[in-house]
Structure 1
Amino acid sequence: MAQGRVTLLFDANLPPGLVDALTSLGEPVMHVSQIFAPGTPDETWIRYAGDRNWCIVSRDVNITRNAHEAAALRECGVGAFFLLPGKRSPRLCQIIQATIRHWPEIKRLAASEARPFQYQIGERGIKRFR
């Protein structure tokens, strides 16, 4: 994929205020709550992102385990970033810190990696997932 700006769609399990802050800094981000009603199935917004060549950011690594959601990731060629997987109930400041600390690399991977892909974003770094 050619380098460029890629919109990242943040899942409902991440704070809309984080998206607001990134938007105010000129970053191409959206929150699912800006597009869909609460309770919209993950498969629906994943396919929406894929149809637009967007990537997703989520805390819900179970997306990769649910057959319909995992199929949507593959079939639509979605790049996915899973923020602080395995960390139970991270504090808001931990979510913000991990996102901001790794934002340049997230943007680089979103714009340059062949899709579909999945990465885990931990407090210490980013690593390929599966």
Structure 2
Amino acid sequence: MSSAPDPVFFLDRTLDTGLVRAALQGQPGPPVLRHTELFDPATPDAEWLPAVTARGGFVLTQERRLHYNPLELQALQASGAGTFIFVAKGLTGAGLAECVLRALPRLRRFAQRHPRPFVAKVYVDGRVYPLDLAARA
């Protein structure tokens, strides 16, 4: 039985923290791409999103308002991005790192089973739910 390769995840500015990186270090699969290693902090989303997608990356972010912004959604769809938004309210630091780690197996399965572009919410318990982008356009 063949399986799709493990997805490459990209930590955007909101999740590219020392604690999240430490939690992901040593996890199986491809290395995690990081915003701070690849882009200037002021790089607009419209520039880094297509670059990350071209490298096969799936975006991990904590920008909860992202899916309410029509221009951001348009940029996500135009770039062909697969985006996971962590909506774990109030989680920071170690709690957020644990949430990302807990969700990792589900993120991998979701990324392998759903064509891009997509936007999905990730909850504190690791559940992943896709958003209906057509209904938000």
Task: Quickly name the TM-score band, shorter chain normalised.
Answer: 0.7 to 0.9
Quote the residue 1:22 is aligned against.
24
Q: Give the AA of the match of 2:114.
A: E
Offset at 1:121?
0.9
Q: Give the AA of the match of 1:31.
A: R
> Residues 33-112 of structure 1: matches in 2 within 5 Å?
33-84=36-87, 87=89, 89-112=90-113
The answer to whether the aligner puts 1:128 opposite 2:121 as a matched pair is no
- TM-score between the two structures when normalised by the length of structure 1: 0.83
- Superposed structure 1 runs of 4+ greater than 6 Å apart: none
Query: Is the 2:15–2:62 Cα contact (8 Å) retained in structure 1?
Result: yes
Quote the residue 2:135 is aligned against.
none
Q: Percent identity?
A: 23
Deviates more, 1:6-15 or 1:23-32: 23-32
Offset at 1:21?
4.1
Distance 1:61 1:47 in 2: 20
Kindly provide the CA deviation profile for residues 22-44 of structure 1, in whole angstroms up to 9, marking residues without a partner as x. Answer: 24334431111110111211222
Distance 1:45 1:64 in 2: 17
Query: Is the 2:77–2:117 Cα contact (8 Å) retained in structure 1?
Result: yes
Distance 2:28 2:73 in 1: 30
Q: Give the AA of the match of 2:93.
A: L
Quote the residue 2:118 is aligned against.
117
Offset at 1:59?
0.5
Unaligned runs of 5+ in 2: 133-137
Structure of larger gyration radius: 2
- TM-score between the two structures when normalised by the length of structure 2: 0.79
Query: Is the 1:6–1:55 Cα contact (8 Å) retained in structure 2?
Result: yes
Query: Is the 1:84–1:95 Cα contact (8 Å) retained in structure 2?
Result: no
> What SS does the aligned partner of 1:24 have?
coil
Cα RMSD, aligned residues only: 2.0
